[in-house]
Structure 1
Amino acid sequence: MNILRRGRLKNIREDVAKYTTSLEFDKEIFEADILCDIAHVIMLYEQGIIKKEHAKKIIDGLREIYKKGMENLNLDPSLDDIHMVIESELINMLGEDVAGRLHTGRSRNDQVATDLRLALRERILEILELLVDMLKDILELAKEHKETITVGYTHLQHAQPTTYAHHLLSYFSSLERDIQRLLDCYKRINISPLGSGALATTGFNISRERTKKLLGFDALIENSMDAVSTRDFILETLSNLSILGTNLSKICEELVLFSTYEFNTLEIDDAFCSTSSIMPQKKNPDVAEIARAKLSKLNGNLISALTILKALPNTYNRDLQEISPILWDSINIVRDTIKMVNGMLKTIKVNKDRMLELANANYSTATELADTLVRELDIPFRKAHGIVGEAVRKSLEKKRDLEEVVVEVLEKYNLKIDKEKIKKALNPYENVKMRKVIGGPSPEEVEKRIKIFSERVNNYDDIIKNKLEKINEVKNNLINFNIE
């Protein structure tokens, strides 16, 4: 018997049922749906809406279904979704006179909106845990390379000397903002729509505050029409994941680039590479390349969700169902890719000699030379910029060392400076040591940032653990709840 269609509608065509069902991806909200059901039943009993014996039997039945798992249920696509599958299973177990009371004062509209939030908040915290672990690993790697001199690039051309630790901390800095965005997004995920009904709440004397507390939500959505229709929390999540994916993709791109023979500053561990079927010498950065491609799907998923939602009227429309698989796809891509990218970074081999060679090449210290002229000769920076630019041009044209050419150019302008100061200005390590401004590459400043960043990441770790503990407590309380 199809408890959903037996009244108003005739039997559904098999192909239509398969086309419209959400059961394929409802596995993501199976546990959440059971928790939501139990909280709702507890509230119905406490409000005197259903009898004690009915509430006890329903909760015991839900526990049994939870233990059996979704894979052991009758996943009949004509039942539409996991909500109706669970209710149908409960009716088969307890009879309709008992189990049929479960859905009192509730709609699938507020039920699925609640389930999505329950499941998503946990998946967000899982991603946050992975990000925190990654940031800790980046800091450990940075500690090893505070004095590993390399060159920084703008326009992918040699720019100025820096250290590999400074470069690594740029990854930390961007990923930390991803953590902050997701933690902030969590506030708008963890609010309860339960009790909003189909769109206009219910005439039963339910307590939305009670189910909010039982499920560990921080607040209520205070308009029932908005509560069942909004998926902006999913849009915000997808947007944040897309930004995170962009940051991860940049890391992957640099791993690919810097591990080439031409750069040769990094070597990716064999575990994350493949070889060619025809060229036996090849070591291809396949994991980084696949990650770049997978992460691009995050942008497509965000656009798909935005497009689905852009022209929907209030309140619930079945179109909303199609956003769920998009959400879980993005969640899974990000979760798996963080593990891969962190794995590559943790096992990277750093070619310090090649990094230093590049830092010494192609005039990367020219900026500090100009700055030195400003300090020592009290001339405007723009004039110093012109002098050094002219010296670089002549050095290239005459294939002579810049240290010699700059003295000749200075003489042309009746300027003179101690050669030792020129030599110091052209030394990459001296360049780096001088840059002690907050956020700069000097070993001293990098060490300060590592200490400060470590404190912050430990704080994020505590926040995330506290939220997970609260969720686990909610689960434990609901699954083991006994009506006295």
Structure 2
Amino acid sequence: MKLWQNVFSTNIDSLADAFNRSIDFDKQLYRYDIQGTIAHVNMLAKQQIIAKEDSNRIIDALKTLLTDIENGTVVIDETYEDIHSFVELYLTEKIGAVAKKMHTGRSRNDQVALDMKLYVLDQVKEMQKALVELIDALIQTAQAHTKTIMPAFTHLRKAQPSTYGHYLCAYIEMFLRDLRKVTLVEETCLTNMPLGSGACCGNTYDIDRMYVAEQLGFEDITYNSLDGVADRDYILDFLYAMSMICMHMSRYCEELILFSSEQFGFLSVAQAYSSGSSMMPQKRNPDMAELIRGKTGRIYGSLLQMLTTMKALPLTYNKDMQEDKENFFDAVNTTLSSLHIFTAMHKTLIIHKESMYLSAKDSYITAVDAADYLVKKGIPFRDAYRAAAKLVNYCIDKNIYFHHLTAEEITTIHADFDAGLLEAVTLENSLASRNQIGSPAPEMVEVSLEKYLQRLAAYKGSATF
């Protein structure tokens, strides 16, 4: 059933009718469609475009419909063309011809643009809540591990000493950036209420667009009707933000998969977030982490699909833009479910401090500290670098590590090496000497964590979720 029924001299082909319908996925916009319609009808009455008694009847019926859908009394009929058609034609059946006045002064083009912005605003709040919970969890874990020594990696090879707390701070930084990106989507939507743009060129009624905006919580309206119905940038912005969130989760999950393997043994994933094998009874597979990593590709696909859909559309509305929903809805649901699983999984990780420490100790990750030791004695860095390389090669040839060296031994490797070097290349000294803000010294990690707490507190203080 369609709002434009009986306009054509012949009926639309049944295949084309099914192909054209969007109600099977846009039905989830029902709450926003009703919410936007109530604000619109209120405005029509305020501006005396329709009678107050008519607006009251329409609004009462809309509120009843919303309640009935929510409690399951009314099931949305998927034979309608879209959710807008269902709401209007359902009300027409219930309260008669007065319901036909509800669409005065608007088009489905600006109606769906409003519905989508209301949907995005709601989902942004859910995303913000999920990110805040995750960042809180990461901060708490990092606070407990500012002195838990582990190697940092470049090229997936042990590089320099770090701590697990310092490692987690890297992800806190990423997710704080993600929180900002998501919040920018909210700010963009709130200043661009599109209803009143009409099909593309407004309408001839004395409508009050700001009144509608105020009812719905928007700060401002759009100022060009062509862009008002053609704009989907906010969807692309949200898809990009979700792509970044999932990319950051995926990187963490990749490392979680590695670090929880027998080859590393840094972490254990709780059995509640693992799965077994149908054949090998010993297996504990990190499937939740692997799924999050895998689902990231779906989010990228949704972003690329939407960019491709919009890339060559002439102004203003085109039916291609119906394709802004299915993959987008899936991306929102997938990102939120991934965030919830990711946070819960992180909270239950078992940290193997000794394995981390031994991995750092049995390595040459303080070789730079050996070079720096000579630099501080006045030797040019490049010469000190070669001396440190000689020290590393000596240990490799002997199949030993720095902590095996004796004071007598090191003086034979380079004339400027002395007993003080043995202390300089310990993990603890290496970390303590890296005392710049942002570095892994425990005190510096604590400074960073305090800054993150301040940022998060400021965000929570201004958030509306």
Measured against the shorter chain, the TM-score band is over 0.9
Give the TM-score, by structure 1 length.
0.92
Counterparts in 2 of 1:438 and 1:85: CA distance versus 1, 3 Å = same
For residues 439 and 2 of structure 1, what CA distance do their matches in structure 2 show? 60
Instruction: Please say if 1:449 is aligned against 2:439.
Output: no
| Uncovered stretches (5+) of structure 1, i.e. residues with no partner | 469-484
Matches within 5 A, 1:52-131: 52-69=52-69, 73=74, 75-77=76-78, 79-96=80-97, 98-131=98-131
For the residue of structure 1 that corresponds to 2:279, the secondary structure is: coil
Work out whether residues 106 and 198 of structure 2, in 8 Å CA contact, stay in contact via their aligned partners in 1.
yes
Which residue in 2 is equivalent to 1:461?
A: 460
Work out whether residues 17 and 78 of structure 1, in 8 Å CA contact, stay in contact via their aligned partners in 2.
no
Instruction: Please say if 1:333 is aligned against 2:337.
Output: no
For residues 417 and 239 of structure 2, what CA distance do their matches in structure 1 show? 59
Which residue in 1 is equivalent to 2:51?
A: 51
Aligned residue identity for 1:436:
N
Deviation at 1:132, TM superposition (A): 0.3
Which residue in 2 is equivalent to 1:397?
A: 397
Aligned residue identity for 1:345:
H
Which residue in 1 is equivalent to 2:138?
A: 138
For the residue of structure 2 that corresponds to 1:160, the secondary structure is: strand
Which residue in 2 is equivalent to 1:292?
A: 293
Instruction: Please say if 1:203 is aligned against 2:204.
Output: yes
Which residue in 2 is equivalent to 1:149?
A: 149
Aligned residue identity for 1:223:
N
Alpha carbon RMSD of aligned pairs, Å?
1.5
Which residue in 2 is equivalent to 1:251?
A: 252
For residues 77 and 347 of structure 2, what CA distance do their matches in structure 1 show? 46
Aligned residue identity for 1:147:
K
For residues 401 and 315 of structure 1, what CA distance do their matches in structure 2 show? 68
For residues 378 and 248 of structure 1, what CA distance do their matches in structure 2 show? 45
Which residue in 2 is equivalent to 1:474?
A: none
Aligned residue identity for 1:187:
E
Instruction: Please say if 1:409 is aligned against 2:410.
Output: no
Deviation at 1:76, TM superposition (A): 4.7
Aligned residue identity for 1:290:
L
Aligned residue identity for 1:233:
Y
Q: Which moved more, 1:76-85 or 1:131-140?
A: 76-85
Which residue in 2 is equivalent to 1:479?
A: none
The structure, 1 or 2, with the larger RCO (C-alpha pairs under 8 Å, 6+ apart) is 1
Instruction: Please say if 1:424 is aligned against 2:428.
Output: no
Deviation at 1:291, TM superposition (A): 1.1
Size of the aligned set, in residue pairs, is 459
For residues 168 and 353 of structure 1, what CA distance do their matches in structure 2 show? 18
For the residue of structure 1 that corresponds to 2:285, the secondary structure is: coil
For residues 452 and 316 of structure 2, what CA distance do their matches in structure 1 show? 44
Aligned residue identity for 2:434:
R
For the residue of structure 1 that corresponds to 2:101, the secondary structure is: coil
Which residue in 2 is equivalent to 1:472?
A: none
Which residue in 2 is equivalent to 1:11?
A: 11
Work out whether residues 265 and 355 of structure 1, in 8 Å CA contact, stay in contact via their aligned partners in 2.
yes
For the residue of structure 2 that corresponds to 1:158, the secondary structure is: strand
Counterparts in 2 of 1:9 and 1:197: CA distance versus 1, 3 Å = farther
Counterparts in 2 of 1:25 and 1:442: CA distance versus 1, 3 Å = same
Aligned residue identity for 1:156:
L
For residues 454 and 128 of structure 1, what CA distance do their matches in structure 2 show? 16
Q: Which moved more, 1:153-162 or 1:394-403?
A: 394-403
Which residue in 2 is equivalent to 1:178?
A: 178
For residues 211 and 10 of structure 1, what CA distance do their matches in structure 2 show? 38
Work out whether residues 362 and 401 of structure 2, in 8 Å CA contact, stay in contact via their aligned partners in 1.
no
For residues 417 and 119 of structure 2, what CA distance do their matches in structure 1 show? 70
- Among all aligned residue pairs of Structure 1 and Structure 2, give the percentage whose two residues are the same amino acid: 35
Work out whether residues 23 and 80 of structure 2, in 8 Å CA contact, stay in contact via their aligned partners in 1.
no
Which residue in 2 is equivalent to 1:239?
A: 240
For residues 58 and 299 of structure 1, what CA distance do their matches in structure 2 show? 42
Matches within 5 A, 1:271-420: 271-375=272-376, 377-402=377-402, 403-404=405-406, 406-411=410-415, 415-417=416-418, 419=419
**1:27-76 deviation per Cα after TM superposition (whole angstroms, max 9, x unaligned):** 33110101100000011011110001101101011011111117655745
For residues 3 and 160 of structure 1, what CA distance do their matches in structure 2 show? 67
**1:234-265 deviation per Cα after TM superposition (whole angstroms, max 9, x unaligned):** 11111111111100100111110000001001
Give the TM-score, by structure 2 length.
0.96
Work out whether residues 49 and 204 of structure 1, in 8 Å CA contact, stay in contact via their aligned partners in 2.
yes
| Uncovered stretches (5+) of structure 2, i.e. residues with no partner | none
Work out whether residues 365 and 428 of structure 1, in 8 Å CA contact, stay in contact via their aligned partners in 2.
yes
Deviation at 1:167, TM superposition (A): 0.6
Work out whether residues 4 and 84 of structure 1, in 8 Å CA contact, stay in contact via their aligned partners in 2.
no
Work out whether residues 275 and 286 of structure 2, in 8 Å CA contact, stay in contact via their aligned partners in 1.
yes
For the residue of structure 2 that corresponds to 1:69, the secondary structure is: helix
Deviation at 1:371, TM superposition (A): 1.0
